[in-house]
């Protein structure tokens, strides 16, 4: 990928209903925040996501290694596989949720056109379609998402032009309430941030595809991530708020249909939703677990795609997408993945000082085995960090990340791993 094509992949991946839901659920009266507070939460969260993706993806761009290999230095050759599985679980669940959202949209389309629908048929149809695209490889994913990003953005911009021109959005109610800049705002910002915890953790899987062409890796990665993350993120959070203000609906799909000026436009809009969910799933929710399955279970790329598709159904996305579970689900998996990211960043930048030996990383028998393939410092920090994060579930990143970062460095520098390490770089 070039720096620009990487950004376009995230444009198409970030324009999804899941992020729209965050803006809709945080805003009064569904949530407790006013318009400015939700917007500020989205800005802070998206900047934090882009910044951490820049740092976490540095090793991938510099050494060309995927996330699961990068993790061997701090978790061990087997420990990194445990972390990869923890990362795969929410990705597979999100793949199911995204597919279910697309099926709900297609249900609306066929109801409007033909007067009948079957959401289960559509669910498996979209699941098969996106799996077939992913089956062809990462290059196909990149090209498809790059092309769709322009189409998706254009459709959504035109939609809101129509909505604003008809004067359906009233800002007064959500702007006049005092809301909160305290714990409620922090929890909302953390909820938005938690949405892409999975993407942060395995940033190397995509940044390794970028050729910096002799330029600064940090500069290249920062430009790619900030231009790729901030525009779609903020656009979708604001979109979620607009839908809530204009319709009062807590269902973004129903709200979009309600705002459509005519049936034909509504159908086009729902096709947009289907495309948006497919492009997001390809990059964020199919690619990472498929790569992990290749390493853990020694499957082919195509075999990994099949595993992801089957497991996505088992996660029951029709339940996870409901408002009762949405934020709890995000915060729960962030309690594990936030500490994992903290450990990897502390190890790479503080312990290793960004210097890795590729030959040793790929030599499973003689290096980074620690104790039976598990780093005591890394795995102990992961467990303790997860416990602390889970104890403060609504603020898991804010508390768990810095705690784990410092705790891991303390264990590592105290020599917790030295007895078990073999020929470390």
330-350 confidence digits (pLDDT tens): 778 888 999 999 999 999 999
Instruction: Give pLDDT, residue 145.
Output: 61
Confidence of residue 366 (pLDDT cuts 50, 70, 90): confident
Supply the range of the domain harboring residue 295: 3-413
Classify residue 419: in a domain, yes or no: no
Residue with tokens 């230095």: 73
Q: At what angle do helices 35-56 and 326-345 cross, to 10 degrees?
A: 40
Residue 221 predicted with pLDDT over 70: yes
> Which stretch of DSSP H or E encloses residue 251?
none
Average pLDDT over residues 254-263: 74
357 or 259, higher pLDDT: 357
Of 239-248, 284-293, 308-317, 393-402, least confident by mean pLDDT is 239-248
CB 278 within 8 A of CB 126: yes
Q: Above pLDDT 90, what percent of the chain?
A: 23
Confidence class for position 137, pLDDT limits 50, 70, 90:
low
Six-digit token pair at 210?
């970028």
As a whole number, mean pLDDT of residues 405-422 equals: 80
Beta bridge partners of 371: 374
How far is 318 from 122, CA to CA, in rounded Å? 13
Residue-level pLDDT at 425: 45
- In the structure, what pLDDT confidence band is assigned to residue 316 with cuts at 50, 70 and 90? confident
Looking at the chain, the whole-number percentage of residues with pLDDT higher than 70 is: 89
Angle, helices 119-135/301-314, rounded to nearest 10 degrees:
160
In the chain, what is the straight-line distance between the N-terminal and C-terminal CA atoms, in Å?
A: 30
Interval 204-215 mean pLDDT:
83
What is the pLDDT at residue 257? Answer: 74
The answer to whether position 425 is within a domain reads: no
pLDDT at residue 107 greater than cutoff 50? yes
The answer to whether the CB of 408 falls within 8 A of the CB of 343 is yes
For residue 324, give every residue at least 6 positions away whose Cβ sits within 8 Å of its Cβ, in sequence order, or none. none
| pLDDT for 424 beyond 50 | no
Rounded-to-5 percentages of helix, strand, coil across the chain: 75, 0, 25
Neighbours of 391 (CB within 10 A): 12
- Is 422 part of any domain? no
Can you tell me the mean pLDDT for 186-211?
Answer: 84
Per the domain annotation, does 421 fall within a domain? Answer: no
- Specify if 8 maps to a domain: yes
Q: Is 205 inside a domain boundary?
A: yes
Determine the number of helices (DSSP H) and then strands (DSSP E) in the chain: 23, 0
Give the mean pLDDT of 72-100.
90
Residues 186, 28: Cα–Cα separation, whole Å: 16
pTM for the model stands at 0.83
- The number of domains in the chain is 1
Euclidean distance between CA atoms 267 and 109, whole angstroms: 5
Length of the chain measured in residues: 425
Is the pLDDT confidence value at 109 over 80?
A: no
Give the pLDDT score at 382: 96
Q: Which residues, in sequence order, are CB contacts of 360 under 8 Å at separation 6+?
A: 366, 367, 368, 423, 424, 425
Q: Can you give the CATH number for the domain in which 118 is found?
A: 1.10.4160.10
């Amino acid at each position: 990928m070039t720096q620009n094509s990487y950004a376009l992949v995230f444009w198409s991946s970030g324009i999804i209903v899941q992020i729209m839901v965050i803006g809709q659920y945080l805003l009064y009266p569904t949530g407790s925040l006013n318009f400015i507070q939700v917007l500020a939460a989205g800005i802070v969260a998206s900047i934090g996501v882009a910044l951490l993706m820049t740092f976490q993806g540095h090793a991938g761009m510099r050494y060309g290694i995927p996330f699961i290999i990068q993790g061997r230095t701090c978790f061990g050759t087997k420990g990194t596989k445990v972390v990869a599985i923890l990362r795969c679980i929410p990705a597979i669940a999100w793949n199911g949720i995204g597919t279910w959202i697309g099926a709900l949209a297609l249900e609306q389309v066929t109801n409007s056109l033909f007067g009948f629908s079957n959401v289960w048929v559509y669910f498996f149809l979209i699941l098969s379609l996106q799996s077939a695209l992913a089956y062809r490889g990462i290059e196909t994913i990149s090209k498809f998402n790059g092309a769709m990003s322009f189409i998706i953005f254009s459709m959504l911009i035109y939609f809101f032009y129509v909505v604003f021109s008809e004067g359906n959005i009233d800002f007064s109610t959500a702007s006049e309430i005092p809301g909160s800049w305290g714990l409620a705002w922090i929890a909302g910002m953390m909820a938005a941030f938690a949405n892409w915890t999975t993407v942060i953790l395995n940033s190397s899987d995509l940044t390794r595809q970028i050729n910096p062409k002799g330029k600064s890796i940090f500069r290249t990665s920062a430009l790619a991530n900030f231009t790729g993350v901030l525009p779609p993120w903020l656009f979708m959070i604001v979109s979620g708020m607009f839908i809530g203000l204009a319709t009062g609906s807590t269902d973004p799909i129903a709200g979009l249909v309600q705002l459509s000026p005519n049936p034909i436009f509504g159908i086009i809009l729902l096709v947009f939703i289907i495309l948006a969910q497919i492009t997001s799933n390809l990059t964020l929710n199919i690619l990472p677990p498929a790569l992990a399955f290749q390493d853990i279970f020694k499957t082919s790329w195509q075999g990994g795609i099949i595993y992801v598709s089957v497991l996505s159904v088992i996660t029951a996305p029709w339940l996870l997408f409901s408002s009762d579970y949405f934020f709890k689900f995000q915060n729960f998996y962030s309690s594990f993945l936030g500490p994992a990211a903290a450990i990897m960043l502390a190890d790479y930048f503080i312990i290793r000082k960004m210097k890795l030996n590729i030959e040793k990383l790929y030599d499973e028998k003689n290096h980074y085995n620690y104790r039976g393939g598990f780093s005591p410092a890394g795995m102990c920090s992961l467990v303790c960090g997860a416990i602390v994060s889970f104890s403060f579930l609504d603020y898991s990143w804010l508390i768990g990340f810095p705690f784990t970062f410092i705790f891991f460095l303390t264990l590592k520098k105290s020599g917790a791993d030295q007895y078990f390490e073999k020929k470390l770089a």
